Chains A and B, each alone.
Chain A
Amino acid sequence: MAASGRRTGATGGDAFAAGLMLAPAALLLGVFFVWPFLRGLWISATRWDGFSTPVFVGFANYARLFGDSLFQGALLNNLIFVALILIFKNGLGMGLALLLDRALFFRGPIRAAVFIPVTLSFAATGLLWSWIYNPVFGLLNAALDLVGLAGLKHSWLGDADIALYAIVAVDIWKWLGFHAVIYLAGLQTIPGELYEAARIDGASAFHRFRHITLPLMMPVVLINVILGLSGAFVRNFDIVQVLTQGGPNHATEVVMTLMVKTAFQDGNMGYASAMGFTLFLIVGLCCVALLALMRRSRVDL
């Protein structure tokens, strides 16, 4: 916005040119963003199967969410998903970045290699892992056999107690390189003199991390959390759909998969839309809270 101040006074021609240039984008966003958003709010206030005339029900769909154990289970799974992913993607991502930062040779190639899974589609990733998790022929059980831990063998995606965590692990596997690369770039902006001074003062490696690296990296941590957040809340449909479709017995159901089922299997568009907007509200509040936190710690995006 800062650059605007240099030009004084917009002429009528300029306003026309701006309108012309914004028109294609405005048309696209109007039809496929603003209109569906508003329409979705309306749909969520109706009972509608998608074909007949919608019946206005006010907030009934939202009220119904509070008593729906299936939705609450999905929301709980979603929250577990988010918490685990934020902890592990950031913890492991930071750890991997620290390792890469210390690596004197082959840093570039290793960085590229760990980034490869980020470029794969969720479909490819999910199917690859459904083979790895296969209880009979899968790589994971074979590996456990190999190291003499056959007792830990599981039907990873078939066991309701484990399946959710198995899916979370796949998501972490896919995105680890993404977060590590951002952390690495952050680490490389920390001036080396700080570490040198701390070393002369006799600070241990742990103290140097705790008192130099971590405070200076907080802005990058926040960026990673925000990047992970919307993904973990909403973009988990693909991976869950490909690996378990929400099963076994809803053990891995997240809000997005439940929403799609409610809409297209049960034909309940209004209730499904209410689920979507409730999730949107939760994500939005989290993002706003984090952005406020960032502003307080004087970080700008």
Chain B
Amino acid sequence: MTMAAPAPAVSAGKATSVPMRWRRRAIFGPGIGELVLVYGLLALVLIETLYPLIWVLFGSFKSKEEVIANVWGPPAHLLWSNYAEAWKISGMGARIFNSASITAGALLLLVLAATPAAYALSRIRFRGRNVILAFIVAAMLVPPQVMAIPLFMTARDLGLVNSRVGIAIIHAASTLPLSIFIMRSFFLTLPMELEDAARMDGANRVQTLWHVMLPLIRPGIALVTIFAFIEIWNDFFLAFLLLREPSVQTIPLGLVAFFQQYGSMWNLYFAALTLTTLPVIAVFLLMQRHFIAGLTAGAVKS
């Protein structure tokens, strides 16, 4: 996923939304014609965005025949057995386990590696720091895809092909530059005095980071975790490259394999798709305020 480098300080949209509403009304007036036009167009966008997803949900409850006979509408009966059957023949249980363990391991490693690095790069002066910073920024702009072949070779030499641990480590490495960059911008917003006080009291660098900074940096860790979660959970490319054995494959590979194998069983396929995407959409909807605030704060400075 491409993304901006969010800076933490302002959640611009949220803070200004009320006066904005008033302001726009004052400028453009409550013209009924304009409102109708705006909401008419927005309704079209919503249909274009959401109907395909609702269509999948509808389809997941239909019988194989009804999917073809009743293309558009909701199902006549809720065929819950589609889900049980899709679960059984797709082997989704194992795939969900693989995706979850790979994502969890990668996120843990990512946070453990990115947090101290970002702290050192924002708070400690040492020679070569600017060179490292420039390298991090450059690394953010180099997509891992262009190195697919040497990356595969390196993984092969290290015995990390077809390994859940291996792909988790590589995920952590490929999301690391952006994560360090985001976390560093969070550290930079924290007042220096806090740290000086801790150092006065005789805490060393590691103790300062652990006891004083870490509790304050939680929003930064949360933002990095959300972005990296979506990137890693949804990853197709690295999994395609490194996970050749079905037993270690993740959900995206599983969906494609299921589709290729049981292409005509639309209803089951829709059930598998719903089963694996609905949780992600739910997580997003629950956290969307933080997510969008973090995304826009970095890209747009108010």
Contacts and interface: CB of A to CB of B under 8 A. Distances in A.
Interface of A: 1, 3-4, 6-7, 9-10, 13-15, 17-22, 24-26, 28-29, 31-33, 35-37, 39-40, 43, 50, 96, 99-104, 107-108, 110-124, 127-132, 137, 139, 142, 146, 173, 176-178, 181-182, 184-186, 188-189, 192, 195-196, 199, 220, 223-224, 227-228, 230-231, 234-235, 237-238, 241-242, 256, 259-260, 263, 269, 272-273, 276-277, 279-280, 283-284, 287, 301
A100 B42 contact: yes
Given A18-B124, A277-B146, A28 B116 contact: no
Decide if the interface of chain B is mainly helix, strand, loop or mixed: helix
Nearest to A142: B71
B117 to A, nearest CB: 4
A32 B236 contact: no
Interface in B122-142: 122-127, 129-130, 132-133, 139, 141-142
B141 A113 contact: no
Contacts of B120: 17-18, 21-22
Contact of B153 (A43, A137, A176, A283): A43
Contacts of B144: 33
A218 to B, nearest CB: 12
B41 A10 contact: no
Nearest to B19: A192
Contacts of B78: none
For chain B, the bracket of interface size reads: 35 or more
Contacts of A118: 1
Contact of B180 (A25, A39, A188): A25
Nearest to A101: B24
A25 B117 contact: yes
A301 B181 CA distance: 12
Contact of A137 (B42, B71, B288): B71
A6 B192 CA distance: 9
A241 B284 contact: no
Contacts of A7: 123, 125, 192
Contacts of B97: none
B84 interface: no
Nearest to B31: A102
User: Which of A3, A272, A284 has most chain B Cβ within 10 Å?
Assistant: A3
B2 A22 contact: no
Contacts of A14: 124-126, 205
B116 A22 contact: yes
